[in-house]
Amino acid sequence: MAQTWVVLAPFFFLLIILVQSPAYNIVNVEAGNEAVLNCPFLFKKPLLMVTWKMKFSTYCLLAYRYDKNVTRNLNCSERTTWKYSPDSNPALRIYPVELGDEGNYTCEIVNSEGNFHFFSYLAVIVPPTVTLTTDNGGVVICQASAGKPAAEISWVPANNHSTDREVHHPNGTVTRVSSVEWKSNVHSSVTCLVTHPATNKTLSLDLLYASLNLHYLMIGGSASVAAAIGIGVILCLIFRCKGKSFGE
C-alpha cells in the first residue's frame, strides 16, 4: 500500500495544481471578425458579480452586478459588449476586432463561495497584401506586406538562392520580401507561394511575357526619343528659315 501511494502521490499533486491554477484560454481571431471570450460559470451557488478587465492604452472594465441588475462600462469601446445576458452566460464579445484589441483579458466571477478568475489571451491575425513583380532584369520579387504573423514565402520551381528580408512595423505587423534571379530562357514562368494563417495565396509570373514587355518598352522608348529629336530639328530649321526671310 505504501508503495502504491509513493507511485500515485505525484499524480495527485499534479491534479491539485491543475485544479487550483487559473483557467487560461488563447483565442485567435482575424482582424475585422468577431471575437468571443468565454468565462465559464460552473458553480452551484448563484452569481453575485462578474467583471471583465482589459488593459490597452487605457484600462477597460465591463462589470455586471446580479442583485441590482446593473451593468457598468468603464473606458471600453462600443465594440466591446456582452455576447449574451451576463447573468446566464458572461461571455465577452468584441466586434469588429482591431489590431489594438490584442492582449490579456481577465474574467472575475464572484459568488458566495469566493472569487474565481479566468484568463484569456486574444491574438489578432492580419492577412498580408501579396504582390509579385519583376525588375525585368531577371530578378523576381514576392512581397507579403503588413501581415501578422509574418507570412512564409516559397518558390516554384524551388530556389535555394532567394534573398529574404523582413520589415517590422510599429503596430506589430511584418512585411516579408523574397527575391530570386530567374532566366526566362531557362524557366518560362515562376510561381510564388505565400503561406499565412489567414490566407494562402499563389501568384504566377510569365517571365517570357515580362521580357517581351521590356523589349517593347526599350524599342518604344527609343522610337519616341528619335521622333522627338526629329521634330525638334524640323522646328529649328523652320524657325531659322523664317528668321532669314524676316532679315531679308
Domains of the chain: which residue ranges?
Answer: 21-125, 129-210
CATH of domain 129-210: 2.60.40.10
63: pLDDT strictly greater than 80: yes
What pLDDT score was predicted for residue 238? 46
241: pLDDT strictly greater than 70: no
CA–CA distance, 159 with 55 (Å, rounded to integer): 45
Are both 21-125 and 129-210 of the same fold? yes
Peptide bond into 90 cis (omega under 30): no
What pLDDT score was predicted for residue 229? 47
Classify the C-alpha dihedral 63-27-103-25 as positive or negative: positive
Third-level CATH fold of 21-125: Immunoglobulin-like (2.60.40)
The larger pLDDT score, comparing residue 47 to residue 25, is at: 25
What pLDDT score was predicted for residue 248? 46
Mean pLDDT of the residues in the chain: 79
Q: Strand 114-125 vs strand 23-30: parallel, antiparallel, or unpaired? A: parallel
CA–CA distance, 46 with 88 (Å, rounded to integer): 10
Do residues 97 and 37 lie in contact, with contact meaning Cβ atoms separated by under 8 Å? no
Nearest Cα neighbor of 181 from 129, 139, 220 is 139
Nearest Cα neighbor of 31 from 153, 168, 123 is 123
Give the distance, in angstroms, between the CA of residue 74 and the centroid of all CA atoms in the same chain: 29
> What single-letter amino acid sits at 93?
R
